[in-house]
């Protein structure tokens, strides 16, 4: 996506007004995408930019601590007094912008997570016909808000897997109309031919962009349901 690339804060020109304009322009683009439920790419980019900024702040604090110079002793409080080298003008611009960027990106990230939560709550999962104790792979029947049926399959994530983003859905087919009898027959056939496969129904109660919202959030919901033992 790279609305804000990983080096945006440190690349030339190091000019406060230029960098602030670039930041605010990116935030506006992110906000428009979030309001349109185009969430996933924005989620990844904001998380990456915040990680960059946190890393810079951490390393800057370590560097400042290493460069401090002892100037005396505060006898009243029994503590050492230090002087710190003054930052150059460019470093001060970066320092100020990093603080402002973290505050603004974190605020937008909270807004994104609220939208993510709303969409997550619009998804309900059901193990069909019943929840299996042991299964190695699954078929996922996604019933969209307009009653289409998207079918995917995936392998069960291992117990040590901690990132829902690594869950891989493989697309199987699309049925333009939902039919309970057809779905029941498919599930019954899977149960007979592949007893180690869990069938899962996902009912979607609101419209969402498929690739940049529904599928990532569905992965998140399914992954956490598996971890909790709900399916």
Domains of the chain, by residue range, sit at 16-119, 123-228
Q: At what angle do helices 89-120 and 40-67 cross, to 10 degrees?
A: 140
Q: Which stretches of 121-205 are DSSP H helices?
A: 180-193
- Taking phi over 0 as left and psi of -120 to 50 as alpha, with beta for the rest, 138 belongs to beta
pTM across the whole model: 0.85
Cα torsion 143, 35, 21, 52 to 10°: value is: -40
pLDDT in tens, the chain (231 residues): 789 998 899 888 889 999 999 999 999 999 999 999 999 999 999 999 999 999 988 887 654 554 455 455 565 665 655 554 555 687 888 889 999 999 999 999 999 999 999 999 999 999 999 999 999 999 999 999 999 999 999 999 998 888 999 999 999 999 999 999 999 999 999 999 999 999 999 999 999 999 999 999 999 999 999 999 999
Residues 6+ apart with CB under 8 A from 193: none
The class of domain 123-228 in CATH terms is alpha beta
Distances in Å between the Cα of 129 and the Cα atoms of 28, 126, 195, 206 are 46, 9, 12, 24
pLDDT given at position 175: 94
pLDDT given at position 67: 43
Q: Quick check: 81 and 65 in contact, CB under 8 A?
A: no
Side by side, the strands of the sheet bearing 197-204 are 123-128, 197-204, 137-143, 149-155, 170-175
Instruction: Using the structure block, give the residue that is written with the tokens 């709550």.
Output: 121
Cis peptide before 148 (omega within 30 of 0): no
């Amino acid at each position: 996506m790279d609305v804000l690339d990983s080096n945006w804060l440190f690349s030339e020109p190091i000019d406060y007004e230029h960098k602030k304009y670039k930041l605010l322009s990116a935030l506006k683009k992110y906000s428009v995408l979030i309001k349109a439920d185009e969430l996933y790419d924005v989620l990844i980019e904001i998380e990456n930019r915040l990680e960059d900024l946190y890393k810079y702040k951490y390393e800057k604090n370590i560097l400042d601590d290493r460069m401090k110079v002892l100037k005396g002793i505060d006898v009243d409080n029994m503590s050492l007094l230090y002087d710190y080298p003054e930052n150059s003008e460019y470093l001060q611009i970066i320092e100020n912008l990093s603080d402002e960027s973290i505050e603004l990106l974190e605020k937008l990230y909270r807004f994104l997570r609220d939208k993510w939560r709303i969409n997550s709550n619009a998804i309900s999962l059901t193990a069909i016909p019943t929840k299996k104790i042991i299964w190695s792979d699954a078929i996922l029947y996604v019933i969209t808000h307009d009653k289409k049926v998207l079918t995917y399959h995936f392998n069960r994530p291992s117990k040590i897997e901690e990132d829902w983003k690594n869950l891989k859905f493989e697309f199987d087919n699309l049925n333009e109309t939902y039919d309970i009898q057809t779905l029941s027959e498919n599930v019954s056939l899977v149960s007979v031919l592949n007893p180690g496969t869990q069938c899962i129904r996902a009912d979607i109660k609101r419209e969402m962009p498929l690739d940049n919202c529904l599928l990532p959030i569905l992965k998140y919901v399914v992954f956490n349901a598996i971890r909790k033992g709900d399916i």
